[in-house]
Amino acid sequence: LADYNGTWNMVSNDNFEGYMQALGIDFATRIIAKMLKPQKVIEQKGDFFHVQTLSSFRNYNAEFTVGVEFNEETKGLDNRKCKTLVTWDNDRLVCVQKGEKNNRGWIHWIEGDQLFLELSCEDQVCKQVYKKA
């Protein structure tokens, strides 16, 4: 299994605006959020993950076990409720967030010292890259 443990700093963030618009996030929040360079702090124990997305403006906290569906409330993002399931696709983490929005989810994978994250909602894809601190 891939090892996601560590602190990861954002290096690029493509189409975050489109992703946030698809989520219906308000204009003022989008202006601020676009300027952020969040940090991911990931603690992984086997299939259990604690993923913190930290920024000067707002944080987002996610805890899940791969293969176990849970009720996610996207507090501080779009504040919706999703039935969320994360699974392994080889070493990639694939998440489906079932709810009001179609085609919502994300994919994480690692290449060298870089962590990749693709966030999808409706017809929008946001591509983020993080580098190990």
The nearest distance, CB 108 to ligand RET, in angstroms, is: 7
Q: Find the binding residues for ligand RET in span 81-120 (CB under 6 A).
A: 106, 119
Q: Which of 4, 13, 38, 130 binds ligand RET (CB under 6 A)?
A: 38
Closest residue by Cα to residue 64 from 23, 40, 93, 101: 93
51 binding ligand RET? (CB under 6 A): yes
- Determine the residue with CB nearest ligand RET: 51
Q: What is the largest CA-CA distance in the chain?
A: 40
Sketch the per residue contact string, 9 through 28, with ligand RET: x for CB under 6 A, - otherwise: -----------x----x---
77 binding ligand RET? (CB under 6 A): yes
How many CB atoms are located within 10 Å of the residue 3 CB? 9
